[in-house]
């Protein structure tokens, strides 16, 4: 059973609109949660990393939130751009490993 679940699987939005991606996890113990952006044919690139004591972290137009009590995280993208088209991957770490969600495929259309 995958310990990191992301929704939706895919999403299409118009350029300039906002969107929110969800991540639920059951990984225990919990150390940190990362959001990565993966362009087609490329490796994942880090957007944010949060520990259990952090509720929110921003990186430009990307804002991640974390609720360690409900084991949920979200990634909010503001004023989307065509270059935001990519897969967004939620990664949860315990001790030595990283557990990956299957990702949300975002398509931004003009």
Span 80-109, contacts to another protein by CB under 8 A: 89, 91, 93-103
User: Is residue 45 at the binding interface for another protein, with CB under 8 A as the rule?
Assistant: yes
- Give the SS3 label for residue 108: strand
User: x/- contact string, 1-40, with another protein (CB under 8 A)?
Assistant: -x-x--------------------------xx-x-x----
- Give the SS3 label for residue 2: coil
Q: Strand 72-77's sheet: what is its strand order?
A: 4-7, 19-25, 72-77, 62-67, 56-59
Binding another protein (rule: CB under 8 A), the pick from 19, 21, 35, 44 is 44
């Amino acid at each position: 059973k995958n310990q990191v679940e992301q929704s939706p699987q895919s999403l299409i939005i118009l350029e300039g609109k906002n969107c929110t991606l969800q991540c639920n996890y059951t990984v225990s113990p919990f150390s940190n949660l990362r959001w990565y952006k993966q362009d087609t044919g490329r490796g994942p690139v880090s957007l944010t990393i949060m520990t259990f004591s952090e509720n929110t972290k921003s990186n430009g137009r990307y804002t991640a939130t974390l609720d360690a009590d409900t084991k949920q995280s979200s990634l909010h993208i503001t004023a989307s751009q065509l270059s935001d088209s990519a897969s967004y991957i939620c990664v949860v770490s315990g001790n030595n490993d990283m557990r990956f969600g299957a990702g949300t495929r975002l398509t931004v259309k003009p």
